[in-house]
Structure 1
Amino acid sequence: MRRPGAPASWIWWRMLRQVLRRGLQSCCHRLGLCVSRHPVFFLTVPAVLTITFGLSALNRFQPEGDLERLVAPSHSLAKIERSLASSLFPLDQSKSQLYSDLHTPGRYGRVILLSPPGDNILLQAEGILQTHRAVLEMKVNHKGYNYTFSHLCVLKNQDKKCVLDDIISVLEDLRQAAVSNKTTARVQVRYPSTKLKDGRNSFIGHQLGGVVEVPNSKDQRVKSARAIQITYYLQTYGSATQDLIGEKWENEFCKLMRKLQEEHQDFQLYSLASFSLWRDFHKTSILARSKVLVSLVLILTTATLSSSMKDCLRSKPFLGLLGVLTVCISIITAAGIFFITDGKYNSTLLGIPFFAMVIATEFTGV
């Protein structure tokens, strides 16, 4: 019967709820009868599927290696712009060698050399060049052959030499001035653009940091600087083998920087490679291990307590544990299907199992 004063929308909503409830009760009743009549089938088939897809998940497990796919959609405008910049302004044809955030090169190793507060990093030219030579002489072995930076570097179109930051030429001039007992004032370093020994004007605004200019200087001469950034660009040529060698070189580069930091106490070394952001992104899974274990214990405890009652006959704590176990089995099966279809894991998927467990726990508690 219609409640006096009740709106028509409320009546339609109540009727729809009753229809849905009766439909669900009928479906669940038929499903229960089917399961009770074929117990062997419903016990063996899910177990076989879980084992099959679980093994395939272990065999086909691959983390997502493309950082852009993790943080940007496929239709991202930034990805289109970066692709356009890479095609129109290739690294080996850039005259100014000003690499903006829009154009991030493929593989590279980058080191930032930082002097203590109040010191001038330009006075440490000899130590910085020793670090630079150590990078150039560093070797990585692949199938019995030793590769150095000269084998992997991006080459200039003019003389087919490695592309190197012009700040290295400035440091060479400063070192030669120190060896010949000349004052560093003879080597006039300007900021953000300076004139090199060969007569070229070069932009070093992205290679020299913490700059203090000479007071009242009209030509923007540098009095002191606190940091120098040097980037080593690698060429992969679209080859999987070359890319693998480049990855090895980057790993050795970071290890070398940590080793050289122990030898140089007059300045600090901070290294960065193309895989650094990817590595930090996937470290989320490692850092979340303790939190994952605590969350799993809490879910099991909640499932057990929500199914327990004061009456021992009506209490069903194992029903809650069984509900969590069922969700775990379904997650393993879903993960197997995901990896069979060439899906790749990333740490953003880590929370999905817990959402499923929480939902299952709530329904079990009801």
Structure 2
Amino acid sequence: MRRSCTDLDCCNSRLRRLFERYGRQVARRPRLFVAVPIVVTLLLAIGLVRLHFQTNMEILFTPTNGRGKTERAELGRLFPLDSANDFSPTRQAHAVASAEAIFTAAPDTTMMSDRRRLNEIRRFDRFVREYTANETGASYDVVCAKMMNGSQCVIDPWLAHHRPGLHPLAFPVTKEGIFIGASIGGVEFEPNGLVRAFAAVRIRYFLSNASAQAWEKAFLDATNRFDSPHVRVVGFTSHSLEEEFMSNGISIVPMFVIAIAAMIAFAVLTVASTDWVRSKPILGLLGVTSTFLGIISAVGLLTAIGVDMSIVIGTMPMLLLGIGVDDMFIMVGAWRRTRVEDSVETRVGETMKDAAVSVTITSLTDLLAFLIGMITVFPSVQGFCLYTGVAVLFDYVYQITFFAGCLALDGRREEANRHAVTFRTVLPRKVALKEEKGTAYRLFCSGGVKHNGEIVVKERYTHPMEKFFAVFGSKLALPPVKVVVLLAFAAYIGVSAWGVAQVNEGLDLHDLVKDDSYAAEYYDKEVKYFVDYGPRVNVLIDERLDYWDAKVQSRVMSMVKQMEDTSYVGRNLTEFWLIDYLNFLRQKGHNPTNLSQRRFVGILRKHFLTNRRFRTYNLDLKFGLDNSIEASRFIVQTLDMSTAKRKQGMMETLRHVVANWPVKAFVYTPEFVYYDQYPAVRPNTLQNIGIALAVMMIVALLMIPHPLGAVVIILSIVSIDVGVVGLMTYWNVNLDSISMINIILCIGFSVDFSAHITYAFMVSDEETRNGKMIWALKELGWPNVQGAASTILGVFPLAFSASYVFRTFFKTLFLVIGLGFLHGVVILPVLLSLVGPKNKRRRSDAEKTSQMSDSLYKEDPLTAQSDVKLSKEKANKSIRVNLIHTETSV
């Protein structure tokens, strides 16, 4: 009689029959199934000629729907800036090309503010200009951004206004009204508030010419060549970040080679044994090859259709190696559970019936996790999930074609009792001992089960780790051990929850370069000396206002005060044409509150904006045809941008302030494009987790048709996610687009570890909860170890990377795998042994065997004819093992 859906098998029984028939076809034509994936891979590899790396940091690591990008476009529309004629560093919408240098004293224990060291800065300026002109053929005067209608280069305020020996200085604004807060750092003050000494100086060169990038390279070369016993200089350019980020990819190539070697060794050794016929070292190597074919096919296909690659995606092959080798372990394990007396065709069919469904479910959960991960606003995450998801799909297809064909060919070798390495026919160990073969022969040559075509060895292959996990499970069943596990679990949840509350959000730009890079040194000094004053923020009033009206003037000044009253904006550091113009009018003897529009605008345009001192304000006003002021802006100075929370708080506070103004206004600085990641990363992560939990709940219900089982799996996923996010706080990892990738991985891998242990517990025929738990660990403990070890081994070289990006990938993936493994083999077994469902009744072995045989006969006579050859006791054991391993994978 056909079983009902409550028998836990209705969802996959058809797949099992389908894969068994498919496996028989593979066994009949193994070379075809091996050759086709190779040909497909070679064809798709042609797409690699279109391989293009995306290196633009803004595109990769900022939200696609970031508000800063919209505000930038609006600023560009209202006040377009021409870097070749009228450029102002504080008023730019798109950051122009630039080069910067930070000077510190040599030795570092001294200060920069003596005449000798300050003279070295001017000597450096002359050296750079001469050197770059010789190297590029274009002087700085040719490539520089210009102001005053293109009549002169934009000059760094420190170089333009400071003269060595003019002390003491007013800070952050000099007596001449020049803001130098971004030019000197590590300031020490006199009792009267003037500057006594400072530790660092920063100067900037702004560029506009098409040959600017060549000038930047020459600039960096000049900073390396500049020799001074008194100062140390480190340079940085607008292309440094992209170039150094690209060098990150080159830095992991040796690690990738190490990972490949380690994975090959692990795969070969894990499937090898002292039985030199049933040992499968070459098959292990082919399992790694199958994964490589999938990676090449995925990358070739996506690059052929124009999908950009990025350095972040460079970690994908290491991850796929672990996933692919894991699938290989499942299929080899299923082969070893088949009966040695059956034909190769039957054994491959049984293997595919047992393992292919497991591989299908595992690949499905991983693929779903990556598809869900693409629902994000961070292109770096989208690209990684797309490439990895497609690679998982190809890996799955090649496992059930290429590797299945290799398995069939290896099965023919095993059936002929040939050596796993030399392929020569050898004797089974029992026969070799009987014929008194030498010790070397018995140790390195003998094996197999056949001699002269007859089966002489019939025992099933049993891995020693099955016995270990049976003992381990019996120890977990002890009440004192359960108490210890539950207490440890409660402590883990508490510590993780506190870590979640303390997690830092966002990816700082200095995290994208290697630790030993010149760019890293530059960022370190910038953070050390130049975070007291942040970016200057444009405040734009996109509305026609009657600025000559006293009430409007009062209202606008009130808006400025609201800005300066926040903890993020400096008082009396605002750069506003209206403030200076009103003072100008008073100095000229005019009453600013008693002028007509014509008089107010006339003096503004003819006298104030033509004054050399105030000429820059032409960039802050947009006049209408009737001489009305259609739009204007002022600039505020932000304070203390030392942490990501301060940066996010500043941006959100200023946006909130202008949103409540009675006029249409917005705030913008180029840094906002990057700051937009801070408020976006948490909701995006929660969104992905929420969608994934809903999807995985459906998958869990299909895999384990028991409500309690599905609930346990979802709670396990939540627990692992909380642990990963919380514990990474203690490991100095931020919640950013890099760690978000691994949290997405966490969803799929959590199902791999948790669902199958739960499924095994549910289908176990043991009467007690402890018995069901021990049986589940005995069957699945070793596959969990293999899966965890293979994945960690694949990414372990990244732990020694000099890059935060790749170290973060290793750290978060290590937490994902480590916590998933502990949940699967320790926490879940204990919880299930306490609250899991018991078997309502236990049918007799004969009854179960009879019902199962009838069902299988109706569903597939070939399978039934094979199974009825077993004794009732042996048949029941085989059916139970097949049922559990249908869903077993890591």
* TM-score bracket for the superposition, by shorter chain length: 0.7 to 0.9
Post-superposition Cα deviations, 1:197-220, rounded to whole Å, max 9, x if no partner, equal: xxxx21111011122233224xxx
Q: 2:110 aligns with which of 115, 118, 129?
A: 118
Identify the structure with the greater helix proportion: 2
Q: 2:216 aligns with which of 237, 240, 250?
A: 250
Q: 2:147 aligns with which of 156, 161, 186?
A: 156
Q: Which residue of 2 aligns with 1:7?
A: none
Q: 1:107 aligns with which of 72, 85, 97?
A: 97
| Residue aligned with 1:202, SS | coil
Deviation at 1:42, TM superposition (A): 4.2
User: Is the counterpart of residue 290 in structure 1 residue 270 in structure 2?
Assistant: no
Matches within 5 A, 1:43-82: 43-57=34-48, 59-81=49-71
Counterpart CA distance in 2 for 1:149 and 1:26 is 75
Check conservation: 2:120, 2:231, Cα contact below 8 A.
Answer: no
The one-letter amino acid of 1:321's match is L
Counterpart CA distance in 1 for 2:75 and 2:187 is 29
Question: Given the superposition, is the C-alpha separation of residues 75 and 159 from structure 1 closer, same or farther in structure 2, using an over 3 Å criterion?
Answer: closer
Q: Which residue of 1 aligns with 2:173?
A: 193
| Residue aligned with 2:63, SS | coil
Check conservation: 2:216, 2:237, Cα contact below 8 A.
Answer: yes
The one-letter amino acid of 1:119's match is M
Q: 1:337 aligns with which of 262, 287, 301?
A: 301
Q: 1:214 aligns with which of 190, 193, 197?
A: 190
The one-letter amino acid of 1:51's match is L
Deviation at 1:140, TM superposition (A): 6.1
Question: Given the superposition, is the C-alpha separation of residues 225 and 153 from structure 1 closer, same or farther in structure 2, using an over 3 Å criterion?
Answer: same
Question: Given the superposition, is the C-alpha separation of residues 37 and 94 from structure 1 closer, same or farther in structure 2, using an over 3 Å criterion?
Answer: same
Deviation at 1:35, TM superposition (A): 4.6
The one-letter amino acid of 2:123's match is Q
Deviation at 1:111, TM superposition (A): 0.1
Q: Which residue of 2 aligns with 1:204?
A: 180
| Residue aligned with 2:110, SS | coil
Using the size of structure 2 for normalisation, the TM-score is 0.33
Question: Given the superposition, is the C-alpha separation of residues 35 and 210 from structure 1 closer, same or farther in structure 2, using an over 3 Å criterion?
Answer: same
Q: Which residue of 2 aligns with 1:177?
A: none
Unmatched 5+ stretches in structure 2: 331-890
Q: Which residue of 2 aligns with 1:130?
A: 123
Question: Given the superposition, is the C-alpha separation of residues 22 and 168 from structure 1 closer, same or farther in structure 2, using an over 3 Å criterion?
Answer: same
Of all paired residues, the percent bearing the same amino acid is: 23
Counterpart CA distance in 2 for 1:297 and 1:88 is 58
Counterpart CA distance in 2 for 1:331 and 1:233 is 43
| Residue aligned with 1:147, SS | coil
Post-superposition Cα deviations, 1:93-147, rounded to whole Å, max 9, x if no partner, equal: 676x5489xx6723211000112433343513322112112222344689xx822
Counterpart CA distance in 2 for 1:68 and 1:13 is 53
Question: Given the superposition, is the C-alpha separation of residues 283 and 87 from structure 1 closer, same or farther in structure 2, using an over 3 Å criterion?
Answer: farther
Q: Which residue of 1 aligns with 2:838?
A: none
Deviation at 1:53, TM superposition (A): 2.6
Check conservation: 1:302, 1:361, Cα contact below 8 A.
Answer: no
Counterpart CA distance in 1 for 2:320 and 2:11 is 23
Counterpart CA distance in 1 for 2:218 and 2:265 is 46
Check conservation: 1:122, 1:225, Cα contact below 8 A.
Answer: no
Q: Which residue of 2 aligns with 1:4?
A: none
Q: 1:23 aligns with which of 14, 36, 60?
A: 14
| Residue aligned with 1:255, SS | helix
Check conservation: 1:307, 1:364, Cα contact below 8 A.
Answer: no
Counterpart CA distance in 2 for 1:84 and 1:277 is 26
Check conservation: 1:170, 1:189, Cα contact below 8 A.
Answer: no
Question: Given the superposition, is the C-alpha separation of residues 98 and 206 from structure 1 closer, same or farther in structure 2, using an over 3 Å criterion?
Answer: farther
Using the size of structure 1 for normalisation, the TM-score is 0.76
Post-superposition Cα deviations, 1:19-74, rounded to whole Å, max 9, x if no partner, equal: 343233233234445556666754554333322332431x2222212112222231
Counterpart CA distance in 2 for 1:141 and 1:170 is 27
Q: Which moved more, 1:73-82 or 1:334-343?
A: 73-82
Q: Which has the larger radius of gyration?
A: 2
Deviation at 1:256, TM superposition (A): 0.4
Check conservation: 1:308, 1:317, Cα contact below 8 A.
Answer: yes
Counterpart CA distance in 2 for 1:107 and 1:360 is 44
Counterpart CA distance in 1 for 2:173 and 2:82 is 19
The one-letter amino acid of 1:192's match is P
The one-letter amino acid of 1:72's match is T
Q: Which residue of 1 aligns with 2:137?
A: 146
Unmatched 5+ stretches in structure 1: 2-10, 175-183, 237-241
| Residue aligned with 2:230, SS | coil
Q: Which residue of 1 aligns with 2:208?
A: 235
Q: Which residue of 2 aligns with 1:272?
A: 236
Higher relative contact order (CA 8 A, sep 6+): 1
Post-superposition Cα deviations, 1:246-303, rounded to whole Å, max 9, x if no partner, equal: 222111111100100xx21101101111122223322322332332222212211222
| Residue aligned with 1:19, SS | coil
Deviation at 1:148, TM superposition (A): 2.1
Q: Which residue of 2 aligns with 1:179?
A: none
The one-letter amino acid of 2:213's match is E
